[in-house]
Each structure stands twice: as C-alpha cells, then as structure tokens.
Amino acid sequence: MGIDKPVVLITGAGGGLGSAIAHLFHEKGYHVVATDYAESALSDYEGEVGFTNIKFDVTSPEDAQQVAEKITERLGRLDVIINNAGIDVFGAITEMPPEKTINGFMINTFAALLTTQACLDLLIESKGVVVNISSESVPIRTPFQFYQASKTALEAISDVMRRELMLHGVHVAIIRPGAIETPLIAGHGNIKNPVENSRYKETFTKFAASVAKATPKNKSKPSDVAELVYHAATDPKRNTMYTINNNVLFKIMGKLPAKTFDILVSKQLNN
C-alpha cells in the first residue's frame, strides 16, 4: 500500500541547490526522498515529517537498486526523480589520474541513468518525470575541467532516455541553469592545480586567474532555480529544456567554429 501523496527522489539533496529543491517539493505536498553520499549531509531533514533520508553513492548500481527497493517497500510509489548530484573538479584531463575524470563523469552524467534505470518500474507505473540538472556552460567546453563535457554528455543521454521512456509515458526534462549562489561557484575564486609538476603549470595559473576574474556577478538564488525545477517536473506541456539566468556570451561563444574558439583559448592562455 503506497502513500497518498506524490513522491520525489532527489540526489545531492544535502546542500545548495539540492536542499532548496527538497524543501520546495516538501512545501508543495510531496514526500521527499532525500539522498546524498553521506548520511551527515542529510542531517537537516532528520526527524522531519515528509522526508525519507537515504545514503546513496550515485556511482554505484548496487546503491541505486537499494534506493529503489527502499522506496518500493516504504512508500510504494515514485513520481519524480531530480538528478541533481554533481561535482566540478579543475585540472588538465590529459594528465590528471584518469579515475578522477571517470568518477566525475559517473557523478555528473551516468548517475542519472543508473538512478532512473533502477527506479524504472516505479516511474512507468506513475507515468512520472525525470529532471536532469545540466549547465549553461555546455556550449563552450573550455580546457582544464571535465564539468562542461560531462554535462554535454548528460544532455545527450537525456535525449536518448526521453525518446525511450516516452514510449512508456515517462518524461525526461533538462534544466540548464546559469550561475547559482552555491559552494560550487564560490570555489571558483581559489582554484589550485591538482597535479604536481604539471606540464601546464603556467597556463593553468592563467586559466585559474581568468576563472576567478570572470566569476559571474549575476547569480540565481537556489530557491529560484528550485522553482524552475518544480515547474519542469509538473509542467503539463512537458517541454524538453528549461533555462534560467543563462549567460548570453556563452551562447555566442558556443556558436563559434571550433577552430576559432581554439585560437581564442590559445591566445588567452599563452599571452
């Protein structure tokens, strides 16, 4: 016997945007399954009515299956998945330990697939919605970070998922937010090269300085982005893409020919 209110599963719910999403859905009458890689990250929800806390390593298929089983046993239904978990690690992907980059793709890209696949029967039963959190930076893919590439891959996988799941009445939507007031953006002012004796020592230093200098002044509040996520999850139009606070310059740069963009990057980092 399931509960009589809709259920939302949120990854990366322990802070920042994930916390804002969790609290908004709770206010809107949802039972919130709040998940994060550490139980301590979910302490704000401890003892709160309307929350189920589950420790969840989103890179683990076994963990994903256990989350699905717990939702089935305890709640009996699942209406929405918000794939929000994400990390941003700076460093040259051509010399960082490969497992660091692969782990980043597991969290930012493939976790959305693992979570959705584990919960597929529940989603099909509810004709539910999957919302994947991407990034406005997808079009530019600059050096020294895998983040943009991983979000590009997430959007591609989201398209494939949507075109499969629509055959079962399940919708997949993408959120492409601009800068948000979260620790992820705050960390851009103090980027360090993670590789000792890096071949890119000088250019990485210039890159880090340019990122710190370019930290956006116009940042969305997590609560505003959460409102858009809620809209995407409940929008009867079931649009495929929702955006908020996107940088016009990113859009322009994303339309440049690849060779032109390469030249601009080279000039910036070699001067």
The pLDDT, as a whole number, for residue 124 is: 98
| Interval 201-237: pLDDT, tens | 999 999 999 888 877 778 899 999 999 999 999 999 9
| Interval 85-98: pLDDT, tens | 999 999 999 999 99
- Phi/psi class of residue 29: alpha, beta or left (left: φ > 0; alpha: ψ in -120 to 50)? left
In terms of Cβ atoms closer than 10 Å to its own Cβ (0-12, 13-18, 19+), residue 125 is middle
**Helices first, then strands: H and E counts in the chain:** 11, 7
Mean pLDDT to the nearest integer, 39-56: 94
DSSP 180: B
- In the chain, the domains with their CATH numbers are 7-270 (3.40.50.720)
In angstroms, rounded to a whole number, what is the distance separating the alpha carbons of residues 171 and 232? Answer: 10
The pLDDT, as a whole number, for residue 186 is: 66
In angstroms, rounded to a whole number, what is the distance separating the alpha carbons of residues 148 and 166? Answer: 27
Element (H, E) at 74: helix 61-74
The pLDDT, as a whole number, for residue 210 is: 87
Angle CA(87)–CA(132)–CA(157) in degrees, nearest 5? 95
- Helix, strand, coil % in the chain, rounded to nearest 5: 50, 15, 35
Is pTM beyond 0.75 here? yes
Collapsed DSSP state (helix, strand, coil) of residue 145:
strand
Q: Distance of CA 203 to CAs 52, 190, 208, 215, Å?
A: 46, 16, 9, 18
Are 197 and 254 in contact by the 8 Å Cβ rule? The answer is: no
CA nearest to 56, candidates 85, 92, 95: 85
pLDDT band for 20, please (50, 70, 90 cuts).
Answer: very high
The pLDDT, as a whole number, for residue 215 is: 75
The pLDDT, as a whole number, for residue 18 is: 97
Q: Are strands 51-55 and 80-83 parallel, antiparallel or unpaired?
A: unpaired
| Interval 167-200: pLDDT, tens | 999 999 999 999 999 877 766 778 999 999 999 9
The pLDDT, as a whole number, for residue 188 is: 78
pLDDT band for 1, please (50, 70, 90 cuts).
Answer: low
Q: Report the 3 state secondary structure along 81-133.
A: EEECCCCCCECCCCCCCHHHHHHHHHHHHHHHHHHHHHCHHHHHHHCCEEEEE
| Interval 96-142: pLDDT, tens | 999 999 999 999 999 999 999 999 999 999 999 999 999 999 999 99
The pLDDT, as a whole number, for residue 212 is: 84
% pLDDT > 70, the chain? 99
